[in-house]
Amino acid sequence: MKALKTIGQDMKAMFKKPMLAISFIAVAFVPILYSGFLIEASWDPYGQLEKIPVAVVNEDQGTVYEGERMDVGQEFVDELKANAKFDWTFVTPEQAAKGIEANDYYMAVKIPKDFSAKAATLMDDKPQQAEIVFEPNGDYNFIAGQIGSTAMKDVRAELNASITEAYARSMLSQVKEVSEGFTEAADGAGELKDGAGKLDEGARTLQENLAKLADGTGKLQDGVSPLASGALKLQDGTASLVQGSGSLASGLAQLQQASGQLTDGAAAADEGAARLEQGLAASADGAAKLQQGLEQSEQGSAKLADGLGQSAAGSAKLADSLAAAEEAGGKVSDGAAQLSAGLEALLQANPQLAESEQGKQLLAASQQLAEGSSQLSAAQQQLTAGGRQLADSQQQLQAGAASLQEAQQQLLQGSGELSAGQQQLQAGARQLHAGTTQLSGGLRQFGAKLGEAASGSAKVAGGAKTLSSGASQLKSGIGQLADGVGTVAGGAVQLEDGAVKLQDGTLKLVDGSGELQSKLGEAADKTASVKDGDDTVSMFADPVRIKEDDSRKVETYGLGIAPYFISIALFVGGLFFTTVISSRDSFQPDATRLGRFLSRTATYVLMSVSQSLAAVLILLYGLKLDVGDVPLFIAFVFAASLTFTLIIQALVTWGDQVGRYVAVLIMILQLTSSAGTFPKELLPDWMQAVHPWLPMSHSIAGLKAAISSGDSAVVYEQLSYLGIYAAVALAFTGLYFAVKARRTTDAPPLARDGAMQA
């Protein structure tokens, strides 16, 4: 009971002294002042970056990319103007240099002259990275430079995305064009396949025809030799033809001359035949009259004598005319026969002339002439015989005129025979007249045709010479043909071999074009599925989007750094309290060891509670600190403050000023090794090794959990560690009072252990 009474008495004595009470209250507010000012100053520094002046220099000259003007530097400047992260100031290079030197700017951003030119090399074989020069003013403020560097990385990422988006838009547009080209190429490949099929059929036909060509050229080569021999004979024959055509022309000229005489003779024969016909007609009349005269023989015997005289004279003339006509008819018949035979020989010697229309007409005319001449000659022979008989009869009449009377019956009979003979003669005369007329016309036609034949024979002679020259050229050409045929035969064999290879190639072409069509179709389908909309372009330019989970996000820097500042403030507050209240002595001179232990511990606990209460109230309701779990936060602040206070009490109780020095060293070690600002993995290895053994490491971890996540498991775990530290420190303090002798004095306890005087 006495120990507990000592606690109450010391509390009353402490608060009865105004200076001690004021000191107690002042020390109680040290943690909140320390942590409050630090947290307020560091609450949201990144939210006010727009107040940091940054110089921006744009020297980019732009470039032309795919026919369009490209000013990436100006686009970057426009992005910065729309970006309020910093206080961007757009200046010249000289102004930026002077501003950095005068500490007017925390950093400078310079866009080089070739920025756009390098940005446009993305699709080149050797692309060049576009560079933005970032110059932090580290001499002025290092942290500002680091913040600027981080911000510039974000700006660079946005700029890269913008440039990539431009390239992606251009590339996707080209992919669309390629897709259309693939479709057209696939259609073309289909047409190529069809054409290749036709080509294969053509190649097969070509091979077959080339095989025939090879056989044909072989046969042609075999037939060229006889052709050469025939050309030689043709040359000899044309020479004979030239000679014969000359003879033909000469003979036709002579024949044409003789045909004139023949025509004249035929005309004379025609005239004589006409006279003969007239004479026979007159003779028929005379015979009739004779018949009548014989019947009236008694009356017309005198007239008969006269008539017989006239008849004898006419018969003589008739006999002479018939003899001359017979002689002319024989000549005509012989000439016509010779002419027909000559023409037949000529036509047989000249097949070309025999085939011509003129030759055929000439031959027909000559044959007709020969036939008519033969008929005329036969008729003339009959006439001649009749004339002779008539002459003989006239002689008999003249001889028997004396015995006319006696031979009346015989004369009447002879007169009948004469009448019949005259009728025959008259018929023969008509035939003779018709034949001579026909002969005359035929000879005139023959003369005309003979003239044409003579003219044609001259042309034949000229053509024969030309034919002879052509035959010589033909002979030479056939020799060349023989050589060419040999070459063609060899080439035909090579062509046949090539056609076989061509057919193999066309088969491969058909297969390849079909596969090409299939692959091009697949490529067209795949490329056609590529979209070129804004969403696709954005995806291509910035394919990965970071989605932040806000469940554990700390909104402000001050909220994130608060556990570190609160822990430091609570530790500093406990250390300050040792300068106000003695850690060893009681106000009661007769206090026991236990009483002093309990009194000093209760005083430190009261100070810890006071500090914690002030800190919690100001942080939660003054600074509006947003914590995840308020009860856990309050409990942990009280626990951390109590732990730090008990540790400092133990150190100062045992070591006095040396203990305070050790406490300061521990605080310094905790400032660097507790991972309050940087992750522990960034600390040196020996600090990482010390980190788990420092109480502030656990207070910071627990406060982070209570403020940010509200994870009670982490809070309870860290509370257990702090409880161990507090228990060890309390035991260590109790050990001091247990081993040290009781000290009694009337002097105030504040003066003997170096604490502040009341």
Rounded average pLDDT over 359-372? 78
- Name the residue type at position 170: S
Give 147-193 as a 3 state SS string: HHHHHHHHHHHHHHHHHHHHHHHHHHHHHHHHHHHHHHHHHHHHHHH
Report angle CA 18, 21, 27 to the nearest 5 degrees. 135
Non-local (6+) Cβ contacts of 671 within 8 A are 568
Is 35 in contact with 562 (CB distance < 8 Å)? Answer: yes
Quickly state the pLDDT bin for 745 (edges 50, 70, 90). Answer: very low
Check pLDDT > 60 for residue 752: no
Copy the structure tokens of residue 323.
Answer: 């003899």
Task: Output the DSSP codes for 219-243.
Answer: HHHHHHHHHHHHHHHHHHHHHHHHH
680 versus 556: which is more confidently predicted? Answer: 680
Distance of CA 733 to the CA centre of its chain: 92
Copy the structure tokens of residue 343.
Answer: 């023409």
| DSSP designation for 49 | G
Check pLDDT > 70 for residue 336: yes
pLDDT digits (tens, 9 = 90+) for 218-258: 776 677 667 667 767 767 777 776 677 677 667 667 766 76
Non-local (6+) Cβ contacts of 658 within 8 A are none
Of 210, 187, 266, whose CA–CA distance to 441 is shortest?
A: 266
What pLDDT, on a 0 to 100 scale, did the predictor assign at position 179?
64
What pLDDT, on a 0 to 100 scale, did the predictor assign at position 424?
77
Check pLDDT > 50 for residue 109: yes
Rounded average pLDDT over 553-558? 60
3-state secondary structure of 159: helix
Check pLDDT > 90 for residue 597: no
Proportion of the chain above pLDDT 90, given as a percent = 7
Q: Among 223-232, 374-383, 562-571, whose mean pLDDT is lowest? A: 223-232
Rounded average pLDDT over 658-664? 89
What is the number of alpha carbons within 13 Å of residue 5 lying toward its C-beta? 7
Q: Among 75-84, 381-390, 427-436, 522-531, whose mean pLDDT is lowest? A: 522-531
φ, ψ (nearest 5 deg) of residue 54: -130, 130
Is 377 in contact with 333 (CB distance < 8 Å)? Answer: yes
Query: Whats the size of the chain, residue-wise?
Result: 758
Is 35 in contact with 566 (CB distance < 8 Å)? Answer: yes
Query: Could you tell me which residues are beta bridge partners of residue 133?
Result: 110
What pLDDT, on a 0 to 100 scale, did the predictor assign at position 229?
73
Of 667, 677, 726, whose CA–CA distance to 700 is shortest?
A: 677
Check pLDDT > 50 for residue 716: yes
Q: Among 42-46, 323-327, 447-451, 567-571, whose mean pLDDT is lowest? A: 42-46
φ, ψ (nearest 5 deg) of residue 592: -80, 175
What pLDDT, on a 0 to 100 scale, did the predictor assign at position 300?
62
Rounded average pLDDT over 741-749? 43
Rounded average pLDDT over 127-151? 71
Quickly state the pLDDT bin for 94 (edges 50, 70, 90). Answer: very high
Of 51, 113, 123, 35, whose CA–CA distance to 87 is shortest?
A: 51
Winning range, highest mean pLDDT, from 210-219, 457-466, 560-569: 560-569
Is 30 in contact with 82 (CB distance < 8 Å)? Answer: no
Is 371 in contact with 396 (CB distance < 8 Å)? Answer: no
- Name the residue type at position 157: A
Task: Output the DSSP codes for 580-631.
Answer: TS-SS--S-TT--HHHHHHHHHHHHHHHHHHHHHHHHHIIIIIS----S-HH
Rounded average pLDDT over 708-712? 80
d(CA 197, CA 189): 12
d(CA 691, CA 140): 33
Domains and CATH numbers, the chain: 2-43+557-740 (no CATH), 52-140 (3.40.50), 179-232+489-528 (1.20.5), 259-474 (no CATH)
| DSSP designation for 708 | I
What pLDDT, on a 0 to 100 scale, did the predictor assign at position 758?
29
What pLDDT, on a 0 to 100 scale, did the predictor assign at position 56?
92
Rounded average pLDDT over 407-425? 69
φ, ψ (nearest 5 deg) of residue 493: -65, -45
| Stretch (H or E) spanning 64 | strand 63-65
Quickly state the pLDDT bin for 570 (edges 50, 70, 90). Answer: confident
Is 706 in contact with 629 (CB distance < 8 Å)? Answer: yes
Q: Decide the pairing of beta strands 107-111 and 133-136.
A: antiparallel
Task: Output the DSSP codes for 484-511.
Answer: HHHHHHHHHHHHHHHHHHHHHHHHHHHH
Report angle CA 294, 298, 300 to the nearest 5 degrees. 65
Copy the structure tokens of residue 411.
Answer: 């004369």
Sign of the torsion angle spanned by Cα atoms 297, 298, 299, 305:
positive
Check pLDDT > 80 for residue 405: no
Check pLDDT > 70 for residue 77: yes
Rounded average pLDDT over 370-381? 77
47 versus 264: which is more confidently predicted? Answer: 264
Check pLDDT > 60 for residue 448: yes
Q: Among 24-28, 33-37, 110-114, 414-418, whose mean pLDDT is lowest? A: 33-37
Quickly state the pLDDT bin for 744 (edges 50, 70, 90). Answer: very low
Of 155, 105, 156, 102, whose CA–CA distance to 129 is shortest?
A: 156
Integer angstrom CA distances of residue 101 from 18, 95, 108, 620: 55, 10, 11, 44
Check pLDDT > 80 for residue 687: yes
What is the number of alpha carbons within 13 Å of residue 606 lying toward its C-beta? 16
What pLDDT, on a 0 to 100 scale, did the predictor assign at position 755?
44
Sheet bearing 53-58, strands edge to edge: 87-90, 53-58, 107-111, 133-136
d(CA 289, CA 337): 44
| DSSP designation for 85 | S
What pLDDT, on a 0 to 100 scale, did the predictor assign at position 618?
82
Of 271, 275, 599, 250, whose CA–CA distance to 454 is shortest?
A: 250
What is the number of alpha carbons within 13 Å of residue 701 lying toward its C-beta? 24
Copy the structure tokens of residue 289.
Answer: 């009259």
Quickly state the pLDDT bin for 753 (edges 50, 70, 90). Answer: very low
Mean pLDDT for the chain? Answer: 74
What pLDDT, on a 0 to 100 scale, did the predictor assign at position 188?
77
Which residue's entry shows tokens 């091979």?
Answer: 207
Counts for the chain of helices (H) and strands (E), in that order: 20, 6
What pLDDT, on a 0 to 100 scale, did the predictor assign at position 422?
64
Winning range, highest mean pLDDT, from 109-118, 185-194, 484-493, 530-539: 109-118
What pLDDT, on a 0 to 100 scale, did the predictor assign at position 642?
94
Non-local (6+) Cβ contacts of 426 within 8 A are 277, 280, 281, 283, 284
Is 54 in contact with 148 (CB distance < 8 Å)? Answer: yes
What is the number of alpha carbons within 13 Å of residue 567 lying toward its C-beta? 27
What pLDDT, on a 0 to 100 scale, did the predictor assign at position 749?
46
3-state secondary structure of 53: strand
In terms of C-beta distances under 8 Å and separation of at least 24 residues, what long-range contacts does 713-719 make, across chains too?
715/629, 715/632, 715/635, 715/636, 718/636, 719/635, 719/636, 719/639
| DSSP designation for 552 | G
Rounded average pLDDT over 178-199? 73
3-state secondary structure of 676: coil
| DSSP designation for 706 | I
3-state secondary structure of 55: strand
What pLDDT, on a 0 to 100 scale, did the predictor assign at position 112?
93
Report angle CA 354, 355, 361 to the nearest 5 degrees. 70
Is 415 in contact with 301 (CB distance < 8 Å)? Answer: no
